[in-house]
Chain A
Amino acid sequence: MRREIPIAICFLFGISFILEYFIPHEGVLSIFETIRQWAIIVIAFAYVLGIANLLRINYHVVQRKQRDWPYKIILMASLFFMITVGIVFDILGVGLGGIGEGTIFGWVYYHAQYPLQSTMFALLAFFIASAAFRAFRIRTFQASLLAVTALFVMIGRVPVGESLWAGFPDFTEWIMNVPQLAGKRAIMIGAALGAISTALKVLTGLERTYLGGE
């Protein structure tokens, strides 16, 4: 029964969401509206589960002094700090509590998370440039096609391309709208068909890996 019950729940709710799409009747929709509210609550609970799991894993790493254990302490301390200033302080009515602008939470967000996350993303520019230098070697016909197209799009989508040749933006748009779009659409249709078949396998219980175990 440990497997049959989850499969039955998955089938029932999965089928209900499919039916909702094809039966846009008001009475039916109100039932599904309630189910969706349940879904939102369940997803919110996943956060609690996530936090519990994160604490469990990191606590064990610290306890056994495994690799990078000092960082795990910082991670858990940061988690508790943000929860305290964002939720606990707000509930207790402590000044500067809450998660909006002008709170401790907001200050930490703007002065720690925001610059850190921006820096991580900004580093991509450097690594992409380095990767492009090595990857765009014209070794085969396909590679040359890729490199030449990439260069056209790269230059055509910035103002300097237009300064070099007025037709560059239109040419780039053509690349995006015709060859790129044809390829993209083929991938999308293929992926969608794959998703449908996987969904059907999950709903009918043929695909059970999401249940965990063997």
Chain B
Amino acid sequence: MRKFLEKLERLDRRVIFIFIGFSIALPLLFPVYTDFSVTAPVEGFYNAIEELPPGSKVLVSCDYDPGSMPELFPMNIAVFHHLLSRGHKVIMMQLWATGTLLAERAMTEVLEDFPEKIYGEDWVNLGFKEGREVVMVSMGTNIPKTFPTDSRGTKVEEIPIMQGVTNFDDVALLMNVSGGLPGTKEWVLQVQSRYGVKLGSGCTAVSAPEFYPYIQSGQLVGLLGGMKGAAEYEKLLGRPGTAQRGMDAQSVSHIVVFLFIFIGNVAYFAVKGKKKRLQVSR
């Protein structure tokens, strides 16, 4: 028994890998769509878009790459879908070089539901600009100077949707899909606190706790934290997507991790107790 417990305590990580692999793959293949409620940060995010008058110009900064795509791509799609369905104008941009094609693809997928939306009138992609925080602050003074052309090389002043857009005062809302740095934290520090623009964020689950202080201080109107946040948002939109499909996989994998932690501790205490008893008997 002791040997078994010791083995359990030093369990080969490949065993854990196999269990995790199955706990993710099986629910993805056979989803049951467990129901869940919507949390306040997600509701805040949703309401911020709902409360805007139709035709409002919303700046969406898609700052992520393929690494964080499973979490952020579904929420990027959901945000674009929500904005276009409400008749808002989307101005998208990227601060991550490796995410430009992803943001464009997210919009392409959404446009399948809105074939009537015209590039340049209903949405525009300003593209990627290197400079991180400097770009953010620069946009506060002059967006056309910071992005003289869009991603297709068209001069910004020739794009109808960009008419009358000089700085953040001309944008009703700023949405950031954030995979790290530069991301939501920098948008809050450099833009929200300085220019007072309404800011919402969609971020990875691991970085969500970092942004909770900004929700409480009112600097973020809402927050979509990881795939769960995206799934809640999809639920509010009434449009099930990949995030909702991923919830079962997340549930099962979390339970598996929970069980491994529990088993690890049981084995640890059992082995520790036996060792103590042996020492006392000697």
Instruction: List the interface of chain A (C-beta within 8 A of B).
Output: 21, 29-30, 32-33, 36-37, 39-40, 43-44, 47, 99-101, 106, 109-110, 113-115, 117-118, 120-122, 125-126, 128-130, 132-134, 136-138, 147, 151, 154-155, 157-163, 169, 173, 176-177, 180-181, 184-185, 188
Q: How far is the CA of A100 from the CA of B253 in the complex (A)?
A: 37
Residues of A within 8 A of B24 (CB): 125
| Contacting pair A154 B258 (CB below 8 A) | yes
| Contacting pair B40 A44 (CB below 8 A) | no
Secondary structure of the B contact surface, majority rule:
helix
Chain B residue nearest to A36 in the complex (CB): B138
| Contacting pair A40 B129 (CB below 8 A) | yes
Residues of B within 8 A of A176 (CB): 209, 212
Residues of B within 8 A of A100 (CB): 101, 104, 151-152
Residues of A within 8 A of B228 (CB): 157-158
Most buried by B among A106, A130, A155, A163: A130
Q: Which of B44-82 contact A (CB under 8 A)?
A: 65-70
CB pairs A–B below 8 angstroms (22 shown):
A21-B194, A36-B137, A40-B131, A40-B146, A43-B132, A43-B134, A99-B101, A106-B101, A113-B98, A121-B67, A129-B17, A129-B20, A129-B253, A133-B13, A137-B264, A154-B258, A155-B255, A158-B228, A158-B247, A158-B254, A160-B255, A184-B209
Over the window 262-278 of chain B, the binary record of Cβ atoms lying under 8 Å from chain A Cβ atoms (1 yes, 0 no) is 00110011000000000
Over the window 226-253 of chain B, the binary record of Cβ atoms lying under 8 Å from chain A Cβ atoms (1 yes, 0 no) is 0010000000000000000001101111
Given A44-B131, A184-B210: A129 touches B256 (CB 8 Å cut-off): yes
Given A154-B257, A158-B247, A160-B255: A117 touches B130 (CB 8 Å cut-off): no
Chain A residue nearest to B11 in the complex (CB): A133
Residues of A within 8 A of B216 (CB): 177, 181
